[in-house]
Structure 1
Amino acid sequence: MVHNPVVVAALSAALLAPLAAGMYSSNSPVLQLTSKNFAEKILKSNHASVVEFYAPWCGHCKNLKPAYEKAAENMKGLAQVAAIDCDEDANKRTCSEYGVQGFPTIKVFKPGKSGKPAIQDYQGPRTAKGIVDFLIEQIPNHVTRINSKTVEGFLKENNETAKAILFTKKGVATPLYKALAVDLLGSVKFAQVRDKETEVLELFGISKLPTFLVLPGGTAEGIIYDGEMKKEGMLKFVSKFAKTSAGKPAAQAEEAESSSTSTSSSAPPPRPTFDSTIPEAPSLEDFAATCGSKICILVVVPDGAPELTAPEKTNYYVNHIKQTFPFFQVQLSKLSVEFVKGFGLEKSDKVQMRALSAKRGWYVGYDGDSASDEAMKDWIDKVKMGEIKKTKIPVFEREEVVTPPEPVKDAPAPEEPAKEAPKEEEPPKEAPKHEEL
């Protein structure tokens, strides 16, 4: 792949170098935390979480990274594997609140009945298997075990609320099934029946195991799930029967909304909504690989909004044209003065966009109506067709990235002793299988 080295170096120096400090990329399975989202993502979550408090310059943190990302991949959909960069000034207060004195420090947060999570230091092996095994034990169990004596009471309790029942040969709930119950906590009651409970199996007419059944509520008959016993499909199935804020099952609410829309000639058709997140601008290497030979769209987020919460207008285009142009976001305050000036940006509370080509050395600014989908579509089309005036990317004074030395003064606590360095990863074959029910 051919790149314009001067332009890439200039972009790196002015834009990407400040962002390259974080150890986990936007594509990492590890959940990225900041002081601003820590409470929402961890303290208020119904899911169990493990959090690594780290510094990018820490040797032990770098050694842990491969195992930690493996753990995050293994626990996807079951529990949260997260990390926070304590070297970032904005995050230092949070790291201090949790008594972090060395790196990496790993803490586990388990939701508690009082609304506050129970917190403990992770002292186990620093391997993917060690972290996974420990975190699995922290997954809250909201699954009720029912038998011939308790089934009647379970069915009568909150009869209007949907109930999900798994008929299985297993005596205890699997991590997958417990995670499903956590996902729909408060909307659907989950239960499990073992094969030995023959009376209960006969009551529901169950002849094969495992069988996943949902009782929609009231007098509605039970519906059997006929897909693979994997979380994604099971969650999609049972979510249809979860209660909405209006007190109706989601499936009924969607049907009613569709019917209302089709019978009203004056009402405009509903606009599509999406739930994707524009990734943060990557490191220089990733940037060069992604944008070196194609046009990229840079979304500049105003100060006070550290994460772009995917406004509908921007999200619409990410989902519809991301195969044509990669989208990246960056916080305005992380840009150098030279970059802000050179790319015609302003200190603004509005989202700004720039289309740029590192290979050809030009950029195009978006100056249309930020509330108009049509204006954005027209701009994108003109950029794609080359029908819009381009501005040459300025060559900034610094043309190469210089890695800053490790901090000396006011630095965070030193790394932990070498004896606590992560152990060699255990064979994958020993990793637990979490998709089995």
Structure 2
Amino acid sequence: MAHHPLVVAALSVGLLAPLASGMYSSSSPVLQLTSKNFNEKIIKSNHASIVEFYAPWCGHCKNLKPAYEAAAGNLKGLAQVAAIDCDDDANKPTCQEYGVEGFPTLKSFKPGKSGKPVVQNYQGPRSAKGIVDYVLDLIPNHVTRVNSKTLEEFLQKNNETAKAILFTKKGVATPLYKALAIDFQGAITFAQIRDKETDATELFGIQKFPTLVFLPGGAAEGVVYDGEMKKDQMFTFFSKFAKPTTGKQHTKEDKPVSSSSTSSTTSAPPRPTFDATIPAVPSMQEFAEACGKKICVLVITPPVAVPLIAHEKTNAYINQAKQSFHFFQVPLSTLPGTFKTALEIKESEKPQMIAVSTKKRWYVPYTGEPESHEAMESWIDALKMGEVHKKKLPDFRPEDVTPPKAPKEETPKKEAPKEEVPVKEAPKHEEL
């Protein structure tokens, strides 16, 4: 039986419609992006985002899909997990703008202090956990830490402004609380007080932790939140008192700050990152001893020397950061292989950074682009606030932290040359 041409056309549209929507369905937790809504959803957002640039025919993209959707589900309400179909002609200008050359390409967008997002390539594990851990570190922190001494000043400042105070046993703000502070940024001031601040807890009559107290502002009586400490319920509670902010305002001239340039309009050399005045560490043992109670930041320089005289802005910031941390420089070639493997130090032609606390036995690798001042500044700020995912520092034997000794130069002798014994301490190239 022959079908009417219109019926055939309708069937064809129906069969092709799912393909037109890309790889992710409308019910997917992954945010669907196009060139039309990219600026509004990502660039103007107050929230941290990770974006997958993909093509529906790409096998690696299909393999990533389950983990990416799982990550989106875990990060729901905390950060944005989004995707854009670069195979769609309408989206190709956006994909080209961000220098996408292969699929899938994952890039993170973190709101910056200047009002422009910092863009970084995601180079971590293509797993739900890897993506979630990475994105959680990107969530901006607008939560004020208050103690018994600063409480009165906090309450008096902008007295008419609504304030939310969380009394908790945690030392740092959780991703959930930080996300709420972003949702109501500019409408509600969020603060956090430790349970150890007894004067503050007694003033408010706090008996259990966590307890959330909301102060509407002015002479209005405070309200104790009695619901579940979950995003949807807390969001609904705050919405009764203030309107959530959906994004930040940008001018048409605003463009994101990219940590890796996608186009070059000048022949100027790339901006260097690290301060050349950072002292060198003579041995890993002395490095560990020098850290003491402070956090140490190890700057690993590549085998081929690169200019490390810092950009003026970066130089000033590192010098300021030295008040909080010890900075050391060490050549990659002097690090034992066991040390590099344990602390995720790679064979690289770019400088690397890793923060270490020998007292509390943890380390945090810097995963941003070495050329990005904004990304490095954000990482150091996160270290100061404790807003980083710390990894357990493995135990080392003395031989593991002592760099290999350089072979002594021998004066040529007339006798027959002796057979040389290989230096056992020499680091081996390890595939990571």
Question: Shorter-normalised TM-score: what interval?
Answer: 0.5 to 0.7
Two-structure CA RMSD over aligned residues (Å): 2.1
Counterpart residue identity of residue 145, structure 2: R
- 2:6 is the alignment partner of 1:36: no
- Secondary structure in 2 aligned to 1:115? coil
- Secondary structure in 2 aligned to 1:212? strand
Report the TM-score, using the length of structure 1 for normalisation.
0.53
1:368 aligned partner: none
Equivalent pair of 1:45/1:111 in contact (CA under 8 Å): yes
- 2:237 is the alignment partner of 1:237: yes
Q: Distance in 2 between matches of 1:191 and 1:17?
A: 51
When residues 19 and 207 of structure 1 are mapped into structure 2, their CA distance, relative to the original with a 3 A threshold, is same
Q: Distance in 1 between matches of 2:140 and 2:50?
A: 14
User: Which one scores higher on RCO, CA 8 angstroms, separation ≥ 6?
Assistant: 1
1:100 aligned partner: 100
- Give the 5 Å matches for 1:162-173: 162-173=162-173
Stretches of structure 1 that go unaligned for 5 or more consecutive residues are 246-431, 433-437
- Secondary structure in 2 aligned to 1:67? helix
Counterpart residue identity of residue 68, structure 1: Y
- 2:16 is the alignment partner of 1:17: yes
1:129 aligned partner: 129
Q: Distance in 2 between matches of 1:14 and 1:209?
A: 57
Equivalent pair of 1:49/1:79 in contact (CA under 8 Å): yes
Deviation >3 Å, runs of 4+: 6-12
**1:281-330 alpha-carbon deviations (Å, 9 max, x no partner):** xxxxxxxxxxxxxxxxxxxxxxxxxxxxxxxxxxxxxxxxxxxxxxxxxx
- Give the 5 Å matches for 1:261-410: none
Report the TM-score, using the length of structure 2 for normalisation.
0.54
Counterpart residue identity of residue 122, structure 1: Y
2:178 aligned partner: 178
- Secondary structure in 2 aligned to 1:138? coil
Report the Cα offset of residue 62 of structure 1.
0.5
Number of equivalenced pairs: 242
Q: Distance in 1 between matches of 2:178 and 2:239?
A: 15
Counterpart residue identity of residue 47, structure 2: H
Equivalent pair of 1:51/1:81 in contact (CA under 8 Å): yes
2:146 aligned partner: 146
Counterpart residue identity of residue 237, structure 1: F
Equivalent pair of 1:141/1:178 in contact (CA under 8 Å): yes
Percent identity for Structure 1 against Structure 2: 73
Equivalent pair of 2:52/2:107 in contact (CA under 8 Å): yes
When residues 114 and 129 of structure 1 are mapped into structure 2, their CA distance, relative to the original with a 3 A threshold, is same
Equivalent pair of 1:161/1:243 in contact (CA under 8 Å): no
Equivalent pair of 1:145/1:192 in contact (CA under 8 Å): yes
1:50 aligned partner: 50
1:79 aligned partner: 79
Equivalent pair of 2:111/2:140 in contact (CA under 8 Å): yes
Equivalent pair of 2:215/2:221 in contact (CA under 8 Å): yes
Equivalent pair of 1:167/1:210 in contact (CA under 8 Å): yes
Counterpart residue identity of residue 93, structure 1: P
**1:60-100 alpha-carbon deviations (Å, 9 max, x no partner):** 00000000000000100000000000000000000000000
When residues 184 and 67 of structure 1 are mapped into structure 2, their CA distance, relative to the original with a 3 A threshold, is same
Report the Cα offset of residue 244 of structure 1.
8.9
Q: Distance in 2 between matches of 1:8 and 1:217?
A: 63
When residues 190 and 244 of structure 1 are mapped into structure 2, their CA distance, relative to the original with a 3 A threshold, is closer
- Secondary structure in 2 aligned to 1:39? helix
Please say which of residues 9-18 and 67-76 is displaced more in the overlay. Answer: 9-18
Equivalent pair of 1:31/1:81 in contact (CA under 8 Å): yes
